[in-house]
Chain A
Amino acid sequence: MDPIAIDTDVLVVGSGAAGLYAAIEAARAGAAVFIADRSLIGRGGATVMAQMTVAAALGEEVPDDPRAHFADTIAAGRGLCDEKLAQLLCEEAPDCIRELDGWGVGWARRNGHIAATTAPGHDRPRCVYVDFINTGPAVSKTLRKEIARKAAIRKAGDLCIVDLVVRDGEVAGAVGYHVGSGAPVTIAAKATVLATGGLTRMFRRNSASANMGGDGYALALRAGCTLIDMEFVQFFPIGHLAPRLVGMDPIMWDPFRYKLGGRLLNGSMEEFTSTYGSDEDGKYVLPRDLATYAIVKEVEAGRGSPHGGAYLSFQHCSAQSLRSAFGPVIDRLAANHIDLTTMPVEVAPIAHYHMGGVKADATMATELPGLFVAGEVVGGTNGANRLSGNAITEALVFGRRAGKSAAARVKQAARRQVRPQDAAAALDLVRADTSEKASNTAANTAAMIARLQSIMADDVGPFRTGIKLRRALAAIAELAGELGDRPPRRAAAFDLERLEWFDLRNMLTVARAVAAAAEQRTESRGAHQREDFPHSLPHWRLHQSVTMKSGELIIAHPPLEGEGRTAEGSSGWGASAAPLSPPPGPLTRADLPPPGGGDAKANV
Chain B
Amino acid sequence: MSVAILKIWRGSARDAGRFERYEVPFEEGQSVLDGLRWLRISKDPTLALRFSCINANACKECMIGLDGETVYACTARLEPREMTLTPLPNKKLIRDLVTEIAPPSERLA
Contact = CB atoms under 8 A, between A and B. Distances in A.
Interface in A318-360: 336-337
Nearest to A208: B54
B104 to A, nearest CB: 11
Interface residues of B, number: 44
Contacts of A496: 40, 45-49
Interface in B49-88: 49-61, 72, 74-75, 77
Which interface residue of B58, B105, B106 has the most chain A CB atoms within 10 A?
B58
A279 B30 CA distance: 36
Contacts of B31: 246-247
Contacts of B46: 492, 496-497
A450 interface: yes
A250 B108 contact: no
Interface string A209-227: 1110000000000000000
Nearest to B43: A444
Contacts, number: 130
A244 B48 contact: no
A246 B45 contact: no
Interface residues of A, number: 47
A244 B29 CA distance: 6
Given A246-B74, A492-B95, A447 B45 contact: yes
Dominant secondary structure of chain A at its interface with chain B: loop
Interface of B: 12, 27-31, 34, 37, 40-42, 45-61, 72, 74-75, 77, 94-96, 98, 100-102, 105-109
B102 A492 contact: no
Nearest to B51: A210
Contact of B61 (A43, A49, A137): A43
A494 B102 CA distance: 14
A244 B75 CA distance: 12
Contact of B75 (A157, A158, A180, A247): A247
A158 B102 contact: yes
Given A444-B45, A493-B48, A496-B40, A44 B53 contact: yes
A395 to B, nearest CB: 15
B60 A493 contact: no
A43 B60 contact: yes
A496 B48 CA distance: 6
Contacts of B12: 492-493
B61 A39 contact: yes
B30 A246 contact: yes
Given A209-B53, A211-B52, 18 more contacts: A4-B108, A43-B59, A44-B59, A44-B61, A136-B58, A156-B108, A158-B107, A180-B108, A210-B54, A246-B29, A248-B57, A446-B37, A447-B41, A447-B42, A492-B48, A496-B40, A496-B49, A497-B46
A178 B53 CA distance: 20
